[in-house]
């Protein structure tokens, strides 16, 4: 489908060139579609960029929600949240580069506002998992769930960004263990 080809090509072009230097012409060329097809699907660069980022965050949330349908202990829920984020960011290196480097890089304000709202929804979803754990008495620390969720995502993003720049220094399992330990040490009395 043309739309999928355009999105895949745009992710690469935005990642390689940055938002401002990326051109719709190059995206059309990379996607091997006519410029008319590109503009029919996405009226402008900002709309295409927003679609890419929105789909990425929605994918992370959907993967996590699907995995947390069954009742699980809070530690297992946190481990799965960490695992899904790591998998997504490490599997989608071009998308990760966009998230880590381009989201605050002079994007049009209306697009930035929509992306910030999507990020807030994502954080609210994670905070709800933590709040549920607090209600069940599993979290011992009286922490603000929204700040804790932001800290978890910030730690994940920073760790992934570092790893993508230094892939030979750590394994995927090292990253998962590190983030899980950092998060749970802050939330629980002990992590067993």
Q: How confident is the model at residue 191 (pLDDT cuts 50, 70, 90)?
A: very low
pLDDT digits (tens, 9 = 90+) for 73-102: 888 888 988 998 888 888 888 888 777 776
Q: How confident is the model at residue 110 (pLDDT cuts 50, 70, 90)?
A: confident
Among residues of the chain, what percentage have pLDDT more than 90? Answer: 26
DSSP string, 32-65: T--HHHHHHH-SSHHHHHHHHHHHHHHHHHHHHH
pLDDT digits (tens, 9 = 90+) for 38-71: 999 999 988 898 898 888 888 888 888 877 777 7
The mean predicted confidence, pLDDT, of the chain is: 84
Query: In terms of C-beta density within 10 A (0-12 exposed, 13-18 middle, 19 or more buried), how is residue 178 classed?
Result: middle
């Amino acid at each position: 489908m043309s739309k999928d080809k355009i999105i895949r090509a745009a992710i690469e072009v935005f990642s390689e060139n940055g938002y401002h230097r990326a051109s719709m012409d190059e995206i059309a060329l990379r996607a091997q579609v006519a410029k008319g097809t590109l503009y029919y699907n996405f009226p402008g660069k900002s709309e295409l960029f927003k679609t890419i980022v929105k789909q990425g965050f929605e994918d992370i949330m959907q993967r996590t929600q699907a995995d947390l349908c069954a009742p699980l202990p809070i530690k297992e829920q946190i481990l799965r949240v960490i695992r899904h984020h790591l998998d997504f960011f490490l599997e989608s290196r071009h998308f990760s580069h966009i998230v880590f480097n381009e989201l605050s890089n002079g994007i049009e304000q209306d697009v930035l506002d929509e992306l910030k709202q999507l990020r807030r929804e994502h954080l609210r979803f994670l905070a709800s998992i933590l709040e549920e754990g607090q209600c069940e008495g599993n979290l011992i620390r009286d922490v603000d769930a929204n700040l804790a969720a932001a800290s978890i995502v910030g730690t994940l993003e920073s760790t992934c960004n570092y790893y993508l720049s230094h892939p030979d220094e750590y394994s995927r399992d090292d990253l998962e263990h590190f983030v899980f330990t950092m998060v749970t040490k802050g939330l629980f009395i002990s992590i067993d």
